[in-house]
Structure 1
Amino acid sequence: MEAAEGKDLGIDPRSDDKALKRHLLKKYSGYLGSLRKELSKKRKKGKLLKEARQKLLTWWELHYRWPYPSEMEKIALAESMGLEPKQINN
């Protein structure tokens, strides 16, 4: 049955895989692009590790009167927790 399906597409199923890949990419490339976009939108945002969250809460408790770290503090916090400075900002 697969051989009949391949002949309907104009591809010899015994031929090189490259021809089949080219055909499939030509036929479905638009769909694959939109699918990739859709999947990238639906990625779950990662949660902070429990230890990183606890360190941030501890820092906040110590600085609750002014809970805005300086740029140097942000860098130090990020490095100590293995986070990006952007994650500290957020």
Structure 2
Amino acid sequence: MLLPLAGGALFFPGLFGLCAWALRRARPAWSDADCAMVGTRLVSSVQAVLATGSGVLIIRSCSDVITDRGSGETLGTSLLAASSQQN
């Protein structure tokens, strides 16, 4: 779980820095604020596409998204686990 978190913590700021740098070089007349705004929107678009793709992947892998549970977990075992975590 920590590896994807660390990857995202490096990937998205790196993508923003790369976009801002490329825009400053490609459009020298633009201000730094303009380059940052466009870079932010590009990174947000990439995040939206990745989130949509992961949602589609989850939906396609489950026959019933609401009742399907991963790794053989049933509703009873998940409720038991949730109640034991509260105690």
Normalised to the residue count of structure 2, the TM-score between the two structures is 0.30
Normalised to the residue count of structure 1, the TM-score between the two structures is 0.29
Higher fraction of helix: 2
Between 1 and 2, higher relative CO (CA 8 Å, sep ≥ 6) is seen in: 2
Q: Which has the larger Rg?
A: 1
